């Protein structure tokens, strides 16, 4: 069966983003950054709020940044982290739900669309 993802995000991008979210700690970090809004949080505040600190937080931020879900910007002596991928997260949800129930069969055996 051939699948058409023409209207979806690239399958490779979706896989990378889902992989980046495949850790409870990374998901917690992203959720905290989403809560903070576009202004983001300093790396210290982010660590304090999530309980993920030091090299572990650095590791998780590298993965989230590589997946295009967050940014890190140096401001003076601070590193500000922000979720920049609000549209990407929405696209990821759409990727999963776009064809919801497309192959569902009605109780009478008829094929339903949507």
Query: Can you give the residue ranges of every domain in the chain?
Result: 11-95
Percent of the chain with pLDDT over 90: 49
pLDDT for the residue 108: 65
pLDDT for the residue 110: 62
Distance CA 89, CA 85 (A): 6
Examine the pLDDT at 2 and tell me if it is beyond 60: no
Q: What is the pLDDT of residues 21-40, one digit of tens each?
A: 899 999 999 999 989 988 99
Q: Does the domain at residues 11-95 carry the CATH identifier 1.20.1300.10?
A: no
Cα angle: 24, vertex 26, 28; to 5 degrees: 65
Distance CA 105, CA 114 (A): 10
| Nearest C-alpha neighbor of 56 from the set 44, 47, 45, 68 | 47
Q: What is the pLDDT of residues 57-111, one digit of tens each?
A: 999 999 999 998 999 999 999 999 998 767 777 777 787 777 777 787 766 666 5
| DSSP secondary structure code for residue 105 in this structure | B
pLDDT for the residue 109: 63
Decide: helix, strand or coil at residue 92.
Answer: helix
HSE-CB of 77 using CA atoms within 13 angstroms: 1
pLDDT for the residue 87: 75
**Bridge pairing between strands 70-75 and 78-83:** antiparallel
Contact (CB, 8 A) for 8 and 98: yes
pLDDT for the residue 98: 79
């Amino acid at each position: 069966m051939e699948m058409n993802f023409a209207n979806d995000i690239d399958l490779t991008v979706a896989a990378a983003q889902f992989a980046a979210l495949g850790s409870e700690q990374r998901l917690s970090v992203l959720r905290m950054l989403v809560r903070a809004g576009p202004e983001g949080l300093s790396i210290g505040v982010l660590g304090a709020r999530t309980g993920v600190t030091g090299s572990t937080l650095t590791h998780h931020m590298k993965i989230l940044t590589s997946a295009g879900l967050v940014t890190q910007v140096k401001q003076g002596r601070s590193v500000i982290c922000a979720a920049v991928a609000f549209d990407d997260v929405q696209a990821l949800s759409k990727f999963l739900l776009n064809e919801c129930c497309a192959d569902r069969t009605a109780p009478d055996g008829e094929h339903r669309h949507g």
